[in-house]
Amino acid sequence: MKTQIIKINRNNINKKDIELAANLIKSGNLVAFPTETVYGLGANGLDEDAVKKIYLAKGRPSDNPLILHIADIEELELLVERVPDIGKKLIREFWPGPLTIIFKKSPIVPDIISGGLDTVAIRMPINPIALKLIDLSGVPIAAPSANISGRPSPTRASHVIEDMDGKISMILDGGNTDVGLESTVIDLSTKIPTILRPGAISYEVLRDIIPELLEDGNILDERIRPRSPGQKYRHYAPKSEMILFKGDIEDIVKNIKLQTHEYISQGKKVGIMATKETEEFYNEGLVLVLGSREDKLSISSNLFQTIRSFDHEDVDIILGEAIDLEGMGKAIMNRMLKAAGGKIIKV
Ligand code: TXA
Ligand code: MG
């Protein structure tokens, strides 16, 4: 299949281009599109055959449910059994935006979307290209991240091309995504609301609205069995091994330097995932800077791109600095830990 790639300026959207994409969605094809979090791989969420193509293109396990993306709040009522009061509050506050909410599903949601569960995940993105595409398609768009299963989520169109070229009908290139990490997932289908995946909308911010809010223990501990089906699979993985170091920043740098020297003496190519504050202390290895510890968004928006860069450079091992958990720090550490397969050393 030839994959058509169309550049879209999000500040000046050419309606004709989005119409082309929407027609592809309506006729059961796959279109990758930017959201504020990561690029999504979209299909008509009410068309089982179209949704099957998503699983095929990604190589995704069939028990891993998909998020339905909507552009209009009225669509929500058709897709869910009911919207609890707390859900209405969250929607007022955070939609459109990087928050996915899990509800009890209505019968029109195909089983293939929910992975056999009786719930459905819904999100209204804020990226204008995504909103326009959903709007013109006239259906809820099922969209996982547009990467091959297990690989880092795409934050640029070039990442989507890397993973999906020749497998899907179209890629809308809307530039780099803003947040760089997938949406926060909150489950409202159970007695006590629980965060299943951390994202830009943090636990602290959500707890102000839901005092009893819980968090899945798996978020920062790979040994705990996750509640969300997707979280049990290896994610965001670089091709090489990855090890994280946590502790005081001076100790982290000291240990990464020692390890780097040791690996290099064994003939290995070492990648160091550093921050703006620590970059200057490293004098060996391939040093890539995520961003500043003072600006978590600079780190989140670069994380997956950086992991892919280490792949391109064919490093044998990546040594990464842990960062603090405040605000988006938790979401960043959750992705880093998954990328490292849980390998973290306290120094
Ligand atoms: O930011 C995002 O959410 C991106 C963009 C494209 O919108 N999408 C995304 O989709 O990250 P995906 O499929 O890569 O991740 C969805 C996560 C998975 O961990 C999945 O298991 C979980 O949400 N999920 C979906 N439906 C669920 C459900 N009914 N119950 C529990 N977890 C669910
Ligand atoms: Mg994903």
- Determine the pLDDT at residue 312: 97
Distance 67 CA to ligand 1 centre (A): 5
| Nearest-angstrom CA–CA distance, 147 and 263 | 30
Contacts of 343 (CB under 8 A, 6+ apart): 241, 242, 243, 244
Largest Cα separation within the chain, whole Å, is: 62
Report whether residue 196 contacts ligand 1, using a CB cutoff of 6 Å: yes
Q: How many CB atoms lie within 10 A of CB 212?
A: 10
Q: If we measure between CA atoms, which residue out of 67, 340, 96 comes closest to residue 201?
A: 96
**115 backbone φψ class: left, alpha, beta (φ>0; ψ -120 to 50):** left
Residue nearest to atom 15 of ligand 1 (CA): 144
Report whether residue 121 contacts ligand 1, using a CB cutoff of 6 Å: yes
Record the pTM. 0.97
Tokens of 99: 């928050």
Distances (CA, A) of 13 to 10, 18, 29, 180, 319: 5, 8, 22, 22, 41
pLDDT, one tens digit per residue, over 305-342 is: 999 999 999 999 999 999 999 999 999 999 999 999 99
| Nearest-angstrom CA–CA distance, 6 and 96 | 24
CA angle 95-101-105, nearest 5°?
Answer: 125
**198 within 8 A of 71, measured Cβ to Cβ:** no
Report whether residue 37 contacts ligand 1, using a CB cutoff of 6 Å: yes
| Nearest-angstrom CA–CA distance, 157 and 124 | 21
- Determine the pLDDT at residue 299: 98
User: Residue type at 243?
Assistant: I
- Determine the pLDDT at residue 234: 77
Q: Supply φ then ψ for residue 141, to 5 degrees.
A: -100, 120
pLDDT, one tens digit per residue, over 255-313 is: 999 999 999 999 999 999 999 999 999 999 999 999 999 999 999 999 999 999 999 99
At residue 304, the 3 state secondary structure works out as helix
| Ligand with an atom nearest the CA of residue 185 | 1
Contacts of 185 (CB under 8 A, 6+ apart): 100, 102, 121, 195, 196, 197, 199, 228
Report whether residue 65 contacts ligand 1, using a CB cutoff of 6 Å: yes
Q: Supply φ then ψ for residue 317, to 5 degrees.
A: -150, 145
- Determine the pLDDT at residue 229: 81
**157 within 8 A of 148, measured Cβ to Cβ:** no
| Nearest-angstrom CA–CA distance, 62 and 56 | 9
What count of Cα atoms within 13 Å lies in the side-chain half-sphere of residue 87? Answer: 23
Instruction: Provide mean pLDDT across the span 73-87.
Output: 97
At residue 245, the 3 state secondary structure works out as strand
* 140: DSSP letter: P
Distance 343 CA to ligand 1 centre (A): 24
- Helices 15-26 + 128-137 axis angle, to 10: 50
Indicate the top mutation candidate among 30, 35, 118, 185 to test ligand 1's pocket, ranked by most ligand atoms within 8 A of CB. Answer: 185
**101 backbone φψ class: left, alpha, beta (φ>0; ψ -120 to 50):** beta
Indicate the top mutation candidate among 54, 111, 145 to test ligand 1's pocket, ranked by most ligand atoms within 8 A of CB. Answer: 145
User: Residue type at 149?
Assistant: S
Sorting pLDDT into bands at 50, 70 and 90, what band is 72? very high
Instruction: Provide mean pLDDT across the span 96-115.
Output: 97
Residue nearest to atom 20 of ligand 1 (CA): 230
| Ligand with an atom nearest the CA of residue 67 | 1
- Determine the pLDDT at residue 228: 84
| Ligand with an atom nearest the CA of residue 143 | 1
Give the position, in ligand 1's atom list, of the atom nearest the Cα of 114. Answer: 29
At residue 227, the 3 state secondary structure works out as coil
Distance 147 CA to ligand 2 centre (A): 7
Indicate the top mutation candidate among 51, 54, 67, 105 to test ligand 1's pocket, ranked by most ligand atoms within 8 A of CB. Answer: 67
Cβ-count burial of 207 within 10 angstroms (0-12 exposed, 13-18 middle, 19+ buried)? middle
